[in-house]
Amino acid sequence: MYIPSSITAEKRSRLESGECHRLTCAAVPLPSTGLVSMENKEPQAVAELMNMALGFIKPMSLKCALDLGIADQIYSHGRPMTLSQLQSALSLPQSKEPHLRHLMRILTHFGFIQMQIDANTSAEPIYDITPMSSLVTNKEGSLNLVSLVRFRLESIEENIKALLCMADWLKQGDNKQTPFEMAHGCSLWEMASENSRLNESFNSSMASTTSLFTNVIIKSGGDIFKGIESLVDVGGGIGKVAKSIVSNFPHVKCTVLDLPHVVRDLANDGVVKFVSGNMFDYIPPADAILLKFVLHNWGDDDCIKILKRCKEAISSTEAGGKVIIVDAVVGRPRAREYEETQLLLDMLMISVHAGAERDENEWESLFTKAGFSSYNIARTIGLLSVIEVYP
């Protein structure tokens, strides 16, 4: 080891003994051409660019897994399965086993499936479900989002057509159409009102969020419903969430407000009252209004109109009046690891509805413009936050 003669005796001794093993040096600025840094980063940049361009493979791999029933098959088997066991159980031709292996490889990479290998034996790798894939199995008593995920996957063609119109939509000034409307000539709601399959799929997907809602709002603390005797679930679909609220808080009388084609075949069963109507025109009076996954479907001007209708419908703050919003708050410190999903949803909301996933400043601006006095982000769990807004 070369030690400069100019170094102090103390440092020389520490270097020779090996005690000192960190070198510091003054940075000497060099002329920057950008070529060296670009050359070093280029392979990674190419990979990242291709990853973006091939991003559609990810949901299609998931759809293939759901269509084949891979997660359900492993779950019903009761223990991890080898590839050959899985191929046989799924009734796939023997010739497709190598291709199934590649599908399982990418599903493992995405965290949908986990693969276990015993390095001490030559036994086949075995595959098991993960917390992610358990959300789409028929496992009783657990959170099940299969209807929600299937709706997203089955409507992907309509959504991609909308996204393909994004650039043209952005170039146009005061275009009242959404990218979805540019692509299809109608809104998603209009399409659903004419397409029974889409309408049923959408309503089922919203109903499947009941368990998600229960985890976020009810199990994490029922104090949100303290002092509330009546509640209107705006856009509450077929009433699964409202019935969940009544089941957990019998003192709360719940009403569901939704469009005619959603509630026309639903009977008032004494548990929940269904009202047909448009939230832009009228919201039934109540102590509290619930807006669950509603406002992200709308642009700012429409959100302000909806919030003003809510303000007209609720009691005073002193009487417990408030609007309860369940939606994403982008950029919340506790939700940083979920931000990419929130941003993907943001682009979906823009393309389909000209809506948005909003950060806290954007939410605050809406509340102020709608005439509310204060708000509180009561809790954040995963992708979602619960916001209480007071008149």
Question: Domain span at residue 332?
Answer: 201-390
Inside any domain, residue 231 = yes
Residues catalogued as catalytic:
296
| Angle between helix 300-313 and helix 360-369 axes, rounded to 10 deg | 60
Predicted confidence at residue 304, as pLDDT, reads 97
CATH number at residue 359: 3.40.50.150
Inside any domain, residue 365 = yes
Q: Are 216 and 362 within one domain?
A: yes
Q: Are 125 and 210 within one domain?
A: no
Q: Are 112 and 223 within one domain?
A: no
81: helix, coil or strand?
strand
Q: Which helix (H) or strand (E) holds 23?
A: none
Q: How far apart, in whole angstroms, are the C-alpha atoms of residue 150 and residue 136?
A: 9
Predicted confidence at residue 28, as pLDDT, reads 46
Which two structure tokens, joined as six digits, stand for 79?
């223990």
195: helix, coil or strand?
coil
Inside any domain, residue 89 = yes
- Asked whether the CA dihedral 290, 296, 297, 303 is positive or negative, the reply is positive
264, 203 Cβ separation under 8 angstroms: no
CATH number at residue 66: 1.10.10.10
Inside any domain, residue 351 = yes
Instruction: Enter the pTM of the model.
Output: 0.78
Inside any domain, residue 326 = yes
Mean pLDDT by 10 residues, the chain (391 residues): 48 48 45 58 91 94 96 94 95 96 97 87 87 87 83 91 95 87 92 84 77 68 82 90 88 91 77 92 95 93 96 84 93 78 93 93 97 90 89 92
Q: Are 119 and 253 within one domain?
A: no
- Asked whether the CA dihedral 191, 193, 197, 199 is positive or negative, the reply is positive
CA atoms lying within 13 Å on the CB side of residue 110: 18
Predicted confidence at residue 6, as pLDDT, reads 47
- Measured between its terminal Cα atoms, the distance across the chain in Å is 74
CA atoms lying within 13 Å on the CB side of residue 136: 24
321: helix, coil or strand?
coil
Predicted confidence at residue 58, as pLDDT, reads 95
Q: Are 126 and 206 within one domain?
A: no
Q: Are 376 and 263 within one domain?
A: yes
How many structural domains comprise the chain?
A: 2
Predicted confidence at residue 3, as pLDDT, reads 45
CB burial of 27-56 (b: ≥16 within 10 Å; e: otherwise) equals: eeeeeeeeeeeeeeeeeeeeeeeeeeeeee
